[in-house]
Structure 1
Amino acid sequence: MSHPPPGLVQVRTLADHPLAGSGAAALRMVATGAVTAGRFGLVEYRLAPHSPGAAPHYHQTFSESFYVLSGELTLYADRRWQPHRPGDFALASERGVHGFRNDSDEPVSFLILFTPGIAREEFFAETAELRRSGRTLSPEERTAFYARHDQVMVEE
Structure 2
Amino acid sequence: MKKETIKAGQITIDFLLEAADTNGAAAMFEFTVPAGAKTPLPHYHEHYDETIYGLSGVLTFTVDGKITDINPGETCFIPRGVVHGFDNLKQNDAKGLTIITPALLGPVFFREVADIVNQPGTPDLKKLGMVMAKHGLVPVVPKR
Q: TM-score range by the shorter chain?
A: 0.7 to 0.9
Report the secondary structure of 1:129's partner residue. helix
* Equivalent-residue separation in structure 2 for 1:63 and 1:133 (angstroms): 30
Aligned position for 1:137: 124
Contact kept in structure 1, 2:8 and 2:111, CA below 8 Å: no
Contact persistence 2:36–2:90 (CA under 8 A): yes
What is aligned with 2:94? 108
TM-score (norm: length of structure 1)? 0.80
Q: Which amino acid aligns with 2:124?
A: L
The percent of aligned pairs where both chains have the same amino acid is: 25
Alignment of 1:1-156 (within 5 A): 13-14=1-2, 17=3, 19-21=5-7, 24-134=10-120, 136-137=123-124, 139=126, 141-156=127-142
Contact (CA 8 Å) 2:6, 2:111: kept in 1 or not? Answer: no
Deviation at 1:134, TM superposition (A): 3.0
RMSD of aligned Cα (Å)? 2.0
Highest Rg: 1 or 2? 1
The alpha-carbon distance between structure 1 residues 56 and 66, as it changes in their structure 2 partners (threshold 3 A), is same
Contact in 2 for aligned 1:68/1:88 (Cα 8 Å): yes
- Structure 1 CA distance, aligned partners of 2:118 and 2:66? 30
Matched residues, number: 141
